[in-house]
Amino acid sequence: MSTTSYIETNRERFLSELFDLLRIPSISADSAYAGDVRKCAETVANFLTKAGADNVVLEETAGYPIVYGEKIIDANLPTVLVYGHYDVQPSVPNEFWNTPPFEPTIINDKIYARGACDDKGQMFMHVKAFETMMQTNQLACNIKFMIEGEEEVGSNNLGTYCKNNKEKLKADVILISDTSMIANDIPSIDVGLRGLSYVEVEVTGPNIDLHSGVYGGAVSNPVNALCQMIAKMHDDNRHITIPGFYDDVLEVSVEDREAMAKIPFSLDEYKKHLNINDVLGESGFSTIERTGIRPTLDVNGIWGGYIGEGAKTVLPSKAYAKISMRLVPNQSSEKITELFSNYFKQIAPAGVTVKVTPHHGGEPVVTPTTSIAYKAASNAMIDTFGKEPIPTRGGGSIPIVALFEKELQTKTVLMGFGLDSDAIHSPNEHYGVFNFFKGIETIPRFFHHFSELSK
């Protein structure tokens, strides 16, 4: 039987199995869901075993387990290590969901659920593609699966696991579907991801909340101070003002920028989709460049003072913010966190003290377009989309990609099938049924080409 007819025959079951995964609220950030995260790991392990994997185990870590499984068919064939994650982002704010986040629902050929695209839907394509290759006798490479449960909280235990299991994880390439493509009729492959530096700041003024009339005007207000400090972090050209912030930024060549300018992109559609009247970013760069090759600084959350009903006159004692900086080659997340920290303390106005707490970070990466593995992914997409995929730079971060290079000396191919409009991390996250099956169809073609090109 051909892979396409096997997929066609099993279409409904593939979807209903994905739904089983999507029903499990495996939110790694919230300890209230610890049992569900673990249950999700077990469910993934069961699916891998049923698909035909050997030696399936839950590898225990200091956090959530890593699901490992493999099928080694011939030591002379190349080995593909598939990475994905079974944990998801919190679903809040729940009131903005049109359907419950953990009750997957298909509307207009899109699967709505938290994790539908990021990354259960995309990760599960690999499990079903593997089953398909097994059942049709077309597995052309050895395969190893490493599916983790802490990607959305910084993959803190994956580095140690990789360091301690170098032999077990040995592979010729790492294949990941956890990114997006330009459009369903414009395939693309991410060849870069941004790094991340993430900090939480606490600004303290007086030792207790004060009456804003009795003390207001005479005592430094930490919320005012925080806003002023944050505003100072960009200049009028939207450059980040932290001294040394751009020192290590690799300028992208004129040729590469010209190639980026040719990527199909409609600013009007972009604005319309987000319902914004204009875009805003670093001057001198296009929207695609701003998200692909330039670093950023954004407030992710800010709070302090009175936010209850009505008006309470108060001069707050404390103000807080969570701030992320997306990084590009060759910035280092540790160095940027330190530069931020120093600058943030330096610009604090009189009367407040400042505390900066770093959260998880990650390094940026660029993946090669000249490798056999990239060529195999490109050929696979040509087979199923009828078009050569365009290499693009993803704005998000998958910190373990840089880590895999460091710990395992193995390069990655980011063959993602999502769309930027899939609302990952947002309410109403969804994944196209088309994309799910396109992935299942394309992955076996990757294995075929990778094996052929490795000969």
Helix, strand, coil fractions of the chain, as percent rounded to 5 = 35, 20, 45
Please report, as residue ranges, which positions from 368 to 427 form the binding site for ligand BES (by CB under 6 A).
394, 396-399
> For residue 273, what is the enclosing H or E element?
helix 267-274
For β-strands 110-112 and 390-392, DSSP reports them as unpaired
Q: How far is CA 141 from the centre of its chain?
A: 27
CB of 395 to ligand BES, least distance (A): 6
With binding defined as CB under 6 A, does residue 196 bind ligand BES?
yes
φ, ψ dihedrals at 162, nearest 5°: -65, -45
**Tokens at residue 8, please?**
């066609």
**394 touches which of ligand BES, Mn ion, none (CB within 5 to 8 A by kind)?**
ligand BES
Q: What is the dihedral of CA 437, 368, 257, 183, to 10 degrees?
A: 0
Tell me which of 154, 304, 316, 439 binds ligand BES, using CB under 6 A.
154
Q: Segment near ligand BES (CB under 6 A), from 2-10, 150-158, 219-227, 290-298?
A: 150-158
CA-wise closest residue to 125 among 222, 34, 47, 65: 47
Binding pattern to Mn ion, positions 271-310, x when CB under 5 A?
Answer: ----------------------------------------
CB of 122 to ligand BES, least distance (A): 8
With binding defined as CB under 5 A, does residue 407 bind Mn ion?
no
Select 179 or 221, whichever has its Cβ closest to ligand BES: 179
Q: Could you give the CA distance from residue 34 to residue 149 in angstroms, rounded to a whole number? A: 11
With binding defined as CB under 6 A, does residue 151 bind ligand BES?
yes
CA-wise closest residue to 133 among 453, 445, 452, 454: 445
CA-wise closest residue to 81 among 89, 93, 69, 90: 69
CA-wise closest residue to 226 among 325, 344, 326, 339: 344
How many positions of this chain bind Mn ion (CB under 5 A)?
3
With binding defined as CB under 6 A, does residue 84 bind ligand BES?
no
CB of 415 to Mn ion, least distance (A): 14
With binding defined as CB under 5 A, does residue 429 bind Mn ion?
no
CB of 363 to ligand BES, least distance (A): 11
With binding defined as CB under 5 A, does residue 119 bind Mn ion?
yes
Select 362 or 389, whichever has its Cβ closest to ligand BES: 362
Q: Segment near Mn ion (CB under 5 A), from 8-16, 117-125, 263-271, 295-303?
A: 117-125
Q: Is 427 helix (H, G, I), strand (E, B) or coil?
A: coil
**Tokens at residue 12, please?**
């409904």
Please report, as residue ranges, which positions from 163 to 192 form the binding site for Mn ion (by CB under 5 A).
178
CB of 87 to Mn ion, least distance (A): 9
C-alpha Rg value of the chain to the nearest Å: 23
Question: How many other CB atoms are there within 10 angstroms of residue 309's CB atom?
Answer: 6
Q: Which stretches of the chain bind Mn ion, using CB under 5 A? A: 118-119, 178
Q: Which stretches of the chain bind ligand BES, using CB under 6 A? A: 118-119, 151-152, 154, 178-180, 193, 196, 360, 362, 394, 396-399
